[in-house]
Amino acid sequence: MSITSAMYSAMSGLTAQSKALASISSNIANSSTTGFKGTVTSFTSYINKTSTIDEQVGGVIASNSRSISRQGEIQSSATSTNMAVNGEGFFVVSGKSANGEVAFTRNGSFSADASGYLKNDEGNYLYGWKLTDSGTVAASNKTSTDSLEAINLTSIKGTPKATSTLGLEANLPSDAETGDSFTSDVELFDALGNSHSVTLTWEKTADNTWSLNASNPTKSSDATATTGTIAGFPLSISFNSDGSLASATQDDGSGTMVSVDPAKVSFSVGGWTTGATDSTVSLDLGTAAGTDGLTQYASGDDTPSIGDWTSTQNGYAPGTLTGTTIDTSGVVRATFDNGETRAIYQIPIATFANADGLDSDTGSTFTQTNESGQYQLRTAGDGKAGEIAAGSLESSTVELTDEFSRMITAQQAYSAASKVVTTAQDMLDTLIAMKR
């Protein structure tokens, strides 16, 4: 082995350890970077064989690789739209809000920008499947990234819902006199989200028997403005001797009273002056022989009145977006100030046959390669795809203790290789001196 060969071998060692130090430096610098995957340096020996009888000489080649598939620790975050993948898979992102080339990342530091798009701290837009009003994916082909779009929260508008169910809970005073009547008001919404008021009139017609009638609806803001025509009343309501609800009968429209299930009484409102479609409402007075709805007990007052009055209905006016929630399967739900909750997007998880074969792009994003295999879009929690942890972030996989240990090793190896170079230089100087 010649002095020059020794020097070249030492120089390859210096180069390799420099590359290792660069990897360590990058890892330490990104020890707090969300979703960062640390790199490791691998060393490979190469041999130069000059003859069959001479000693083999060689050096070392260093190569850096990133452990992309390694799971980082999941930590809680105060931002509800921050997310982490607990398991395999990546978020699908793009640098553009529309028609952009997609990339893949574990950096889930998403928050809404000024335009309402969910972007992470690297400026990448989060892509997802848009859902229909029924909560199903709108795209016909869920396997392609072409089925995805940038998630925008400000484009979400509240929708009204017509009242279709009305439940009543009240105690009708058994100590009222026959002929006594009482009134109560309930709110109904039409299909356009307009609020209306209906006055219910309760009249005691005999012992344990009451009649219920309803006025035509009026504007909730103006009791003098009639807004529709109600049908399905009057009702006759009977109670058992223990005060529980017994039965109900309803006018069938021809003046004939027919028996109906008190928990499923139907009435309608037509001719809305607001232009809304006709409404059909299921009225729940309670279970026959039960006390979960209407009851008839003594009021105990000198002037009897309806007690324990409660009405519940499922309609609402168009609401204003108040927030969003994300579940473990990646469904993004919008919540509105009117109580409406609606699924609007589903966040897919992209998986790969060999995630470590992905190519590093800018920041902590990756792109598909032949080594990684074709992406597969999955629902979070399905198969290899990890679940989504909302309000959380995945920390860097860098362990500082390991990096400092690697740094010491690289430093010692670099110093040793440099010593070989200086020693070889001294030997060359000695050789040259011999000529003198």
- Residue 84 sits in which domain range? 77-158+321-393
Torsions phi, psi for 227 (to 5 deg): -120, -5
Is the same domain home to 185 and 230? yes
**Domain boundary at 313, 345, 369, which?**
313
Please say which residue of 291, 313, 335 terminates a domain.
Answer: 313
Secondary structure class of 306 (helix, strand, coil) = coil
Query: Considering only 87-91, 164-168, 192-196, 335-339, which range has the smallest mean pLDDT?
Result: 335-339
User: CA geometry: angle at 341 spanning 338 and 344, to 5°?
Assistant: 130
Q: Which two tokens stand for residue 394?
A: 């995945």
Give the contacts of 29 (CB within 8 A, at least 6 positions apart).
Answer: none
Mean pLDDT of the chain: 91
CATH of the domain at 232: 2.60.98
CB-based contact 69:356 (threshold 8 Å): yes
CA angle 186, 190, 191 (to 5 degrees): 150
Amino acid at 326: I
Please give the tally of structural domains in the chain: 3
Token reading at 162:
């017509």
Q: Is the pLDDT of residue 258 over 90?
A: yes
Q: What is the DSSP letter of 328?
A: T
Residue 128 has pLDDT above 90, yes or no: yes
197, 290: one domain: yes
User: What are the tens digits of pLDDT across the range 192-227?
Assistant: 999 999 999 999 999 999 999 999 999 999 999 999
CA-CA-CA-CA torsion for 146, 352, 79, 113, nearest 10 degrees?
Answer: -30
Q: What pTM value is reported for the model?
A: 0.71
Query: Does residue 166 belong to any structural domain of this protein?
Result: no
Checking if the pLDDT of 13 tops 80, the result is: yes
Domain end (from 256, 278, 313): 313
Q: How far apart, in whole angstroms, are the C-alpha atoms of residue 33 and residue 30?
A: 5
Q: In this predicted model, what pLDDT tens digit does every residue of 269-290 receive, in sequence order?
A: 999 999 999 999 999 999 999 9
| Whole-number pLDDT of residue 429 | 84
Does residue 418 lie within any of the structural domains?
A: yes
Question: For 167-206, where are the alpha helices, taking DSSP H only?
Answer: none
- The pLDDT score that the predictor gives to residue 45 is 82
- Please tell me whether residues 249 and 193 are part of one structural domain: yes
